[in-house]
Amino acid sequence: MKKYFLIGFLLLVASCSGVTGTGNPTPIVNRPAASSPSDETGDVQSTAPNAGRATATLQPASGSTVEGQLEFIEQGGVVTIRGTIRNLTPGPHAFHIHETGDCSAPDASSAGPHFNPTAMPHGDPAHEAHHAGDFGNITADERGEALVNATTTSITLLAGPASVIGRAVIVHENVDDLVSQPAGNAGARIACGVIKW
């Protein structure tokens, strides 16, 4: 009789240490983002109630060759935007989220005004009064490349009044002065991309 108990115990240990985790009661938390998407169902990373990931591919507008790729990650009420924009003139360029996810017009005017769900004036994202879609400026280096790395609580990816899914990222020809209404006097729209899951 004791022998059977021992075998049962060893089987339990073996199943708990198995790679597949079958029967393993330990919840998997803080799983690295690099974990394989082919992992068994039950992966909490992609289905956590307050997390999500979206992307935007920026394409040229107004006769420019500006393009880029952005990633949006929401976690715990904070959205991080990361990526690279290329073929800019060196220096600062206004960077906004506009209301309408439509980049079809040659000058990207189809993207509409700045995303502004809280009815604020245009402004500096570091100050209280600004459009949710205001992100100030990105700065291109001598090669025309700008790295984007911003965090904000002004927007969400998850459904709600501040969700930017289906809206447009716009990069402008000129600098956003963070003061002029309604859009910082930033000039032509030189790249446009729709934010998608």
Binding site for Cu ion (CB under 5 A): 96, 170
Contact flag: residue 176 with Zn ion (CB under 5 A): no
Distinct helix (H) and strand (E) counts, the chain: 1, 8
Nearer to Cu ion by Cβ, of 52 and 135: the residue is: 135
Whether omega for the bond prior to residue 27 falls within 30 degrees of 0, making it cis, is: no
Q: Which residues within the stretch 129-168 sit at the binding site for Zn ion (CB under 5 A)?
A: 131, 134
Quick one: DSSP state of residue 163?
Answer: B
Nearer to Cu ion by Cβ, of 162 and 170: the residue is: 170
Nearer to Cu ion by Cβ, of 96 and 167: the residue is: 96
Judged by CB under 5 A, which of 70, 79, 93, 122 binds Zn ion? 122
Contact flag: residue 173 with Zn ion (CB under 5 A): no
Closest distance of CB 32 from Zn ion, Å: 36
Contact 144, 68 (CB under 8 A): no
Contact flag: residue 114 with Zn ion (CB under 5 A): yes
**Cα–Cα distance for residue pair 166/168, rounded to 1 Å:** 7
Short-list 135, 111, 122, 136, CA closest to 191? 111
Interface contacts to Zn ion, rule CB under 5 A: 114, 122, 131, 134
